[in-house]
Structure 1
Amino acid sequence: MHSEILKPMVVLIAWTILMLVWLVVTRLPAMKAAGIDITKLTGGKGADADGILPASTQWKAHNYNHLMEQPTLFYAVCLIIAVSGTGNGMNAWIAWTYVGLRIVHSIWQATVNKVSIRFLLFALSTLCLVALTLHAGMAVFHG
């Protein structure tokens, strides 16, 4: 099966891995500078470092977490669209728009992090997800 909508999915997965690398290469030195020895840590979660590590370091971690949240719905809806045979044309363009907005959102959150702009990017990407969901529903229930 060849469906154009699979391409933006792969790009967002690759971007998520890149954000993970960015997170690691900034967080580990920040932890060392803060006197945190990861070999002595037990349990905990990434958010425990809020207030200990610099905010700009944590922004990358927060964004990585965000890429584990809403995009999971994106992947699911894109697979539904691909399997239904409607993953080309408009649906592929909407998916590319979603991915572009999520990448810009990541860069913004990881660097500047002004919430009003970040929220706008999130809202616009959510509208793309809503459109894809409606198209998936039409394909599945009326196709």
Structure 2
Amino acid sequence: MHSDILQPMVVLIAWTLVMLGWTLATRLPAMKAAGVDMGKLVGTKASDADRSLPPQVQWKAHNHNHLMEQPTLFYAVCAVLALSGTGSGVNAWIAWAYVGLRIAHSLVQATSNRVRARFLFFMVSSLMLVALTLHAALAVF
């Protein structure tokens, strides 16, 4: 069974991997420049890197972490919609909007990190997630 809503799911997964690559491509050289010896690191946490690496480098890592948070709900609700046979039409369009907004959020956070713009993209994408959740509830109850 094919459901159109699977496509935006895969695109957001791919985007998350792009952000992981961008994180590594900027963070590893910054760690080297800061004299961080990964062989000597024991039990560190993400906030430790915030103290030793430039903010512009950390913005990519912070965004990758954000892509591990709310989008997990997106994946779950899209799976419900796909399995219930309601993952096409308007629900697929809403899912594409969510993905586009999350990618825009990533680009803002990873480059200029302007909070107002990030917040706008986050809030509108959250509304898309609410709509998908309501549609999933209607499909299964």
- TM-score (structure 2 length as normaliser): 0.99
Structure 2: how far apart are the matches of 1:9 and 1:125?
14
Instruction: Name the amino acid aligned to 2:114.
Output: K
Instruction: Name the amino acid aligned to 1:97.
Output: A
Task: Give the 3-state SS of the residue equivalent to 1:100 in structure 2.
Answer: helix
Query: Residue 13 of structure 2 aligns with which residue?
Result: 13
Task: Give the 3-state SS of the residue equivalent to 1:82 in structure 2.
Answer: helix
Instruction: Name the amino acid aligned to 2:105.
Output: H
Superposed, which structure 2 residues align to 1:126-137 within 5 Å? 126-137=126-137
1:7-62 CA-to-partner distances (Å, cap 9, x unmatched) read 00000000000100000010000001111011111111222111210000000000
Structure 2: how far apart are the matches of 1:132 and 1:93?
10
Task: Give the 3-state SS of the residue equivalent to 1:68 in structure 2.
Answer: coil
Query: Residue 101 of structure 1 aligns with which residue?
Result: 101
RMSD between superposed Cα atoms in Å: 0.5
Cα displacement (A) at 1:127: 0.2
Structure 2: how far apart are the matches of 1:103 and 1:110?
10
1:93-132 CA-to-partner distances (Å, cap 9, x unmatched) read 0000000000010010000001011000000000000000
Instruction: Name the amino acid aligned to 1:74.
Output: F
Identity of aligned residues (%): 70
Which is further off, 34-43 or 96-105? 34-43
Superposed, which structure 2 residues align to 1:1-143 within 5 Å? 1-141=1-141
Structure 1: how far apart are the matches of 2:43 and 2:18?
25
Instruction: Name the amino acid aligned to 1:11.
Output: V
- What count of residue pairs does the alignment treat as equivalent? 141
**Structure 1, unaligned stretches of length 5 or more?**
none
Structure 2: how far apart are the matches of 1:129 and 1:81?
12
**Structure 2, unaligned stretches of length 5 or more?**
none
The structure 1 segments of at least 4 consecutive aligned residues displaced by more than 3 Å after TM superposition are none
Task: Give the 3-state SS of the residue equivalent to 2:51 in structure 1.
Answer: coil
